[in-house]
């Protein structure tokens, strides 16, 4: 209705709150199938993106870099550019604007919030899946598979075997990874896995996942602990930083420098960004030049490709091979992380491929149609009431058990236990088993009676108490009483019990 900046701000806040309520209401509904789960996740993802973009607009409005918001707030109070305060004039201008809007839109109506919620919750986002992917259930890696088996780094294997080995990039020899063919393959593989993951798990924050992977990778790469790329600098002919450069103060001639060997000379040259080729004498002469001549004054012909620019910027030269190796290794690390997240999908894809190998084309098509109809009718089946007029117990499949099994176990016979709080047990087996369960044990503990085998089959509180009294009395009769049953003998051979003997001895009669 109003195009003022404050009205835009108010409408933006209202939109954010409205979408937050819709997200909460949508997530409260439990999806009944994989298709419903995907629709729900993508709806929530779209609303989150809208909230994010709206919030960025609000931040720009509140920052007020052009002072438009400040001027509009001043105008609300009737403050003009000349400083004259005319509140009534500002009020009637706004009233005129509102009337003009309703004159142009006489049929405008307020949209009911509940109707808007229902429309958003019923929305089905467009998600693109190939027929092989079966709406996100399986991976479709046939193009990558053909690219792998037709490459120099791959091998002719079956598609099911490829699904097992494609995450294991460290098994490919390092020399074959430095080719353009492998780099293109790894880029395509990472792109497909990322696209599939974003379609099936839209609520996952991929940027945060990759940021963590990159941080861990940088630490491992600096320490030379990246699996499959250990000690990459040594294998490419570049020594690690701690012993790469040679101290030329110890060498006074080229002949002395040649004694360190060709490999050590190669490492020293690479550390300075110089060319590493040639005979051992040429390497030593090239390196010996740096003893008395600064690097910036050396001829360009002595430097490796791309190293001169790095020297001018004051940055240590990085060989091109090392940069390519690091990029490829980082792509492998991201690919492995995605494979870990999609582990169940990869296993499901392999099982599906193996199963299809034993089916004909007609059987595959029939199974696919059956899966589609099963997903459509899954929610309808759950809503239908189960016909159970005899009120039979439910089995493991959520359906009533057969009547013959019901009669066999005597599940129609009810046993009540007063000690368990008049709880009912159906069937003799459940009744006998309940004496060792927590409910009966708790009841016996409240009565102060030990739950022993003597009290099996007793469900009445009074009977349990009477039996406990009899047991206590029986234990009292058989109990050893030393004052009455322990015997003592005096000098004359007379026998007394302990109590009598003690009394006579106290009186001095014994």
Q: What is the pLDDT of residues 49-67, one digit of tens each?
A: 999 999 999 998 888 888 8
Specify the 3-state DSSP secondary structure of 298.
Answer: coil
Across the range 409-420, mean pLDDT stands at 88
Please check the confidence at residue 84 and state whether its pLDDT lies above 60: no
Instruction: Based on the fold, state whether residues 431 and 491 are members of the same structural domain.
Output: no
Burial of 435 per CB tally in 10 Å (0-12, 13-18, 19+): buried
- The reply to whether 396 falls in a domain is no
For the ranges 144-148, 358-362, 423-427, the lowest mean pLDDT is seen at 358-362
- The reply to whether 179 falls in a domain is yes
**CB contact set of 420 (below 8 Å; sequence gap of 6+):** 434, 439, 440, 443, 459
More confident residue, 111 or 495: 495
- The reply to whether 464 falls in a domain is yes
Please check the confidence at residue 9 and state whether its pLDDT lies above 50: yes
Cα four-point dihedral sign 472, 473, 479, 482: positive
> Which residue in 297, 301, 300, 259 sits closest to 281, CA to CA?
259
Alpha-carbon distance 126 to 132, whole Å?
A: 17
3-state helix, strand, coil split of the chain in percent (to 5) is: 60, 5, 35
Please check the confidence at residue 204 and state whether its pLDDT lies above 50: yes
How many Cβ atoms sit within 10 Å of the Cβ of residue 501?
18
For the ranges 11-20, 59-68, 208-217, 361-370, the lowest mean pLDDT is seen at 361-370
Q: pTM of the predicted model, to two decimals?
A: 0.53
Instruction: Based on the fold, state whether residues 181 and 194 are members of the same structural domain.
Output: yes
- Which of the residue ranges 122-131, 306-315, 465-474 has the most confident prediction, judged by mean pLDDT? 465-474
More confident residue, 229 or 114: 229
For the ranges 365-379, 389-403, 491-505, the lowest mean pLDDT is seen at 365-379
Question: What does the pLDDT look like over 397-414, one tens digit per residue?
Answer: 778 888 888 888 888 888
Instruction: Based on the fold, state whether residues 87 and 179 are members of the same structural domain.
Output: no
Across the range 440-456, mean pLDDT stands at 88
Give residue 246's pLDDT band: very low, low, confident or very high (50, 70, 90).
Answer: low
- Per the listing, tokens 């706004």 go with 94
Give residue 113's pLDDT band: very low, low, confident or very high (50, 70, 90).
Answer: low
φ, ψ of residue 276 to 5 degrees: the values are -110, 0
More confident residue, 50 or 91: 50
Instruction: Based on the fold, state whether residues 500 and 428 are members of the same structural domain.
Output: no
Alpha-carbon distance 442 to 245, whole Å?
A: 79
Q: For the chain, how many structural domains are there in total? A: 5
- The reply to whether 314 falls in a domain is no
- Per the listing, tokens 């937050």 go with 20
Are 217 and 226 in contact, with CB atoms under 8 Å apart?
A: yes
Alpha-carbon distance 289 to 257, whole Å?
A: 11
Q: What is the mean pLDDT of the chain?
A: 79
- The reply to whether 344 falls in a domain is yes
Phi and psi based region of residue 101 (left: phi greater than 0; alpha: psi -120 to 50; beta: remaining): alpha
Instruction: Based on the fold, state whether residues 32 and 166 are members of the same structural domain.
Output: no
Give residue 385's pLDDT band: very low, low, confident or very high (50, 70, 90).
Answer: low
User: Residue 495: which H helix or E strand, with range?
Assistant: strand 495-497
For the ranges 11-25, 88-102, 376-390, the lowest mean pLDDT is seen at 376-390
Q: Residue 289: its pLDDT value, please?
A: 82
Specify the 3-state DSSP secondary structure of 190.
Answer: helix
Phi and psi based region of residue 231 (left: phi greater than 0; alpha: psi -120 to 50; beta: remaining): left
Give residue 115's pLDDT band: very low, low, confident or very high (50, 70, 90).
Answer: low
Instruction: Based on the fold, state whether residues 194 and 263 are members of the same structural domain.
Output: no
Please check the confidence at residue 358 and state whether its pLDDT lies above 80: no
What residue numbers bound the domain in which 40 lies?
5-122
Instruction: Based on the fold, state whether residues 218 and 347 are members of the same structural domain.
Output: yes
| Long-range CB contact pairs, 188-197, < 8 A, 24+ | 188/143, 188/144, 188/147, 189/144, 189/335, 190/331, 190/334, 190/335, 190/338, 192/141, 192/144, 193/335, 193/338, 193/339, 193/342, 194/334, 194/338, 196/133, 196/136, 196/139, 196/342, 197/338, 197/341, 197/342
Instruction: Based on the fold, state whether residues 114 and 171 are members of the same structural domain.
Output: no
Please check the confidence at residue 170 and state whether its pLDDT lies above 50: yes
User: Residue 477: which H helix or E strand, with range?
Assistant: helix 461-477
Specify the 3-state DSSP secondary structure of 335.
Answer: helix
> Which residue in 363, 265, 346, 271 sits closest to 310, CA to CA?
271
Q: Residue 461: its pLDDT value, please?
A: 92
Alpha-carbon distance 200 to 34, whole Å?
A: 10
Instruction: Based on the fold, state whether residues 214 and 271 are members of the same structural domain.
Output: no
Please check the confidence at residue 428 and state whether its pLDDT lies above 80: yes
Are 419 and 440 in contact, with CB atoms under 8 Å apart?
A: yes
- The reply to whether 309 falls in a domain is no
Cα four-point dihedral sign 248, 254, 256, 262: positive
Please check the confidence at residue 310 and state whether its pLDDT lies above 50: no
Instruction: Based on the fold, state whether residues 217 and 270 are members of the same structural domain.
Output: no
Instruction: Based on the fold, state whether residues 347 and 428 are members of the same structural domain.
Output: no
Q: Residue 313: its pLDDT value, please?
A: 47
Please check the confidence at residue 362 and state whether its pLDDT lies above 80: no
- The reply to whether 434 falls in a domain is yes
CA distances from 507 to 254, 493, 500, 501, 502 (A): 123, 19, 11, 10, 9
CA atoms within 13 Å, Cβ hemisphere of 86 = 9
How many Cβ atoms sit within 10 Å of the Cβ of residue 352?
19
Six token digits for residue 185: 């393959």
CA distances from 173 to 116, 177, 331, 497 (A): 58, 7, 16, 98
Instruction: Based on the fold, state whether residues 146 and 171 are members of the same structural domain.
Output: yes
For the ranges 55-59, 344-348, 365-369, the lowest mean pLDDT is seen at 365-369
- The reply to whether 93 falls in a domain is yes
> Which residue in 49, 384, 329 sits closest to 216, CA to CA?
329
For the ranges 22-36, 44-58, 237-251, 484-498, the lowest mean pLDDT is seen at 237-251
> Which residue in 235, 215, 211, 233 sits closest to 224, CA to CA?
233
Across the range 138-163, mean pLDDT stands at 88
Give residue 129's pLDDT band: very low, low, confident or very high (50, 70, 90).
Answer: confident
């Amino acid at each position: 209705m109003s195009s003022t900046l404050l009205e835009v701000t108010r409408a933006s806040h209202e939109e954010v709150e409205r979408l937050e309520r819709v997200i909460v209401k949508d997530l409260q509904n439990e999806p009944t199938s994989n298709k419903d789960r995907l629709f729900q996740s993508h709806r929530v993802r779209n609303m989150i993106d809208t909230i994010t973009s709206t919030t960025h607009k609000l931040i720009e409005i509140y920052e007020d870099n052009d002072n438009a918001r400040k001027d509009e707030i001043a105008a609300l109070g009737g403050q003009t550019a000349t400083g004259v305060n005319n509140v009534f004039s500002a009020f009637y201008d706004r009233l005129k604007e509102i009337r003009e809007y309703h004159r142009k839109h006489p049929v405008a109506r307020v949209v009911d919030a509940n109707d808007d919620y229902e429309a958003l919750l019923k929305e089905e986002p467009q998600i693109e899946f190939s027929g092989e992917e079966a709406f996100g259930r399986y991976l479709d890696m046939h193009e990558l598979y053909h690219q792998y088996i037709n490459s120099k780094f791959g091998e002719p294997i079956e598609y099911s075997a490829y699904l097992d080995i494609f995450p294991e990039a460290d098994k490919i020899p390092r020399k074959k990874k430095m080719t353009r063919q492998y780099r293109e393959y790894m880029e395509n593989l990472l792109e497909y896995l990322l696209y599939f993951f974003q379609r099936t798990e839209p609520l996952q924050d991929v940027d945060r996942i990759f940021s963590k992977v990159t941080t861990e990778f940088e630490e491992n790469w600096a320490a030379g602990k990246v699996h499959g790329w250990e000690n990459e600098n040594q294998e490419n002919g570049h020594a690690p930083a701690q012993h790469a450069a040679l101290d030329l103060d110890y060498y006074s001639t080229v002949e002395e420098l040649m004694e360190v060997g060709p490999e050590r000379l190669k490492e020293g040259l690479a550390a300075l960004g110089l060319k590493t080729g040639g005979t051992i004498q040429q390497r030593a002469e090239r390196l010996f030049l740096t003893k008395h001549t600064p690097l910036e004054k050396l001829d360009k012909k002595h430097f490796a490709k791309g190293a001169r620019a790095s020297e001018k910027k004051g940055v240590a030269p990085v060989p091109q091979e090392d940069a390519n190796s690091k990029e490829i290794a980082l792509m492998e690390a991201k690919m492995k992380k995605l494979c870990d997240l999609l582990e169940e999908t990869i296993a499901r894809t392999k099982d599906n491929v193996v199963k299809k190998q034993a089916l004909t084309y007609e059987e595959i098509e029939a199974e696919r149609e059956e899966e589609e109809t099963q997903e459509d009718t899954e929610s309808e089946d759950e809503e239908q009431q189960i016909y159970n007029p005899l009120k039979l117990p439910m089995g493991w499949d959520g359906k009533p058990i057969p009547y013959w099994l019901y009669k066999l176990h005597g599940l129609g016979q009810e046993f009540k236990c007063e000690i368990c709080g008049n709880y009912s047990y159906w069937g003799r087996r459940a009744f006998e088993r309940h004496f060792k369960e927590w409910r009966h044990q708790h009841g016996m503990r409240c009565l102060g009676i030990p739950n022993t085998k003597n009290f099996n089959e007793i469900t009445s509180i009074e009977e349990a108490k009477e039996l406990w009294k009899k047991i206590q009395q029986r234990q009292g009769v058989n109990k050893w009483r030393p004052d009455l049953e322990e015997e003592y003998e005096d000098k004359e051979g007379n026998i007394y019990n302990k109590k009598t003997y003690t009394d006579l001895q106290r009186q001095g009669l014994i």
